[in-house]
Structure 1
């Protein structure tokens, strides 16, 4: 049984909930990523922010990314436990149509599963099914 721990990217960095969206955008640029987990002062996962969130929910609405805080972007959050099996990871991503999934262990963020991680661990048929279910109707 393959677990989330075995396929996740462990090099995940959080943006603190009181940091600005400008800080988040710069972190994404510097790290070469399209999303960041949002962590509270207790280092627990509070949400996730994407580059698309910054554009659509801040910039396009004429808000100041230097003044808006990452914590304001928190919405409904999905995650998996580090020991959850790959089928649960896939099901969670497909049912919620998400492309990045935080991995938690003992209430702390330990990694992130992305489409690229799935591509390295699934066969072509599984990847095609994932893409169809996640992107259908978008």
Structure 2
């Protein structure tokens, strides 16, 4: 299964934040949209990092002034991405190996979506359910 088929079932909204914005703004966006990560973009809109709930909690444990700090201080700078042409198994392996729960999806140089581990798990479960349904049909037809 290709990532593009998962994206066809998702909202096309991609939430971003600038690197110089205060962390409080990022937290407000996460809460407002009920999401776990924001893509950090530069002035032209190119992805330069990601900030997740985990990043914020890690920083909050070390600093009492966390919410006034800029997003750039807390974000993960080594951005790992995938493309719509990647297959589900490859993306799952990438997310597992890198301990990330959100993966920006890039089409050439353009950010088109953010795939969450929940999206990946749902797609995998749907795929398995389809296989179970096929096997059940074959068994029932074989008994007739």
TM-score, normalized by the shorter chain, greater than 0.5: yes
Structure 1 residue 80: deviation in Å?
A: 0.5
Structure 1 residue 63: deviation in Å?
A: 4.6
**Contact 2:88-2:120 within 8 A present in 1 as well:** no
CA 125–86 in structure 1, closer or farther in 2 if over 3 Å, else same? closer
Instruction: Note the alpha carbon deviations across 1:49-99, whole angstroms, 9 max, x for none.
Output: 112211222x22225234311122233221101221222211211221222
Larger Rg: 2
Instruction: Note the alpha carbon deviations across 1:25-49, whole angstroms, 9 max, x for none.
Output: 0000100011111111121111111
Name stretches of at least 5 consecutive residues in structure 2 with no aligned partner: 129-144
CA distance in 2, matches of 1:43, 1:5: 22
Residue in 2 that maps onto 1:21: 23
Select the structure with the greater relative contact order (CA < 8 A; seq sep ≥ 6): 1
Residue in 2 that maps onto 1:6: 5
The count of corresponding residues between Structure 1 and Structure 2 is 124
2:67 aligned with 1:71 = no
CA 3–56 in structure 1, closer or farther in 2 if over 3 Å, else same? same
Q: Which deviates the most, 70-79 or 98-107? A: 70-79
3-state DSSP class of the match of 1:49?
strand
Name stretches of at least 5 consecutive residues in structure 1 with no aligned partner: 127-138
Q: CA-atom RMSD, angstroms?
A: 2.1
Residue in 2 that maps onto 1:48: 50
Greater helix fraction, Structure 1 or Structure 2: 2
The TM-score normalised by the length of structure 2 is 0.75
